[in-house]
Amino acid sequence: MLLIDCPHCGPRAELEFSYGHEAHIERPKAPEALSDAEWADYLFLRDNTKGVILERWVHSHGCRRWFNVARDTVTYEILAVYPMGAEPPALERKTYV
Partner 1 sequence: MPEILEHHSALAHLGLAARAVATRDAGQGVGLAEAPYRAAVNLRGRLDDAGFAAGAEQALGCALPAEVGAVATAGELSALALGPGEWLVVGGSDGPALRARLLAALEGVFASVVEVGQQYATIRIAGPKAAETLQKGCPLDFDAAAFPAGRCAQSLLSKIDVLVWKRSEEPAFEVTVRRSFADYAWRWLHDAAREYGVAILAG
Among 5, 51, 65, 81, binds partner 1 (CB under 8 A): 65
Among 9, 25, 40, 91, binds partner 1 (CB under 8 A): 9
**Least CB distance to Zn ion at residue 57 (A):** 10
For residue 12, state whether it binds partner 1 (rule: CB under 8 A): yes
Q: What are phi and psi of 79, to 5 degrees?
A: -95, -25
What are the CA-CA distances from residue 51 to residues 28, 47, 78 (Å)? 26, 11, 11
Residue 31 burial (10 A CB sphere; 0-12, 13-18, 19+): exposed
Q: Draw the binding track, 18-37, toward partner 1 (x: CB under 8 A; -: no contact).
A: --------------------
For residue 13, state whether it binds partner 1 (rule: CB under 8 A): yes
Q: How far apart are CA 26 and CA 47, in angstroms?
A: 14
Q: Could you list the residues that contact partner 1 (CB under 8 A)?
A: 8-10, 12-13, 15-16, 61-65
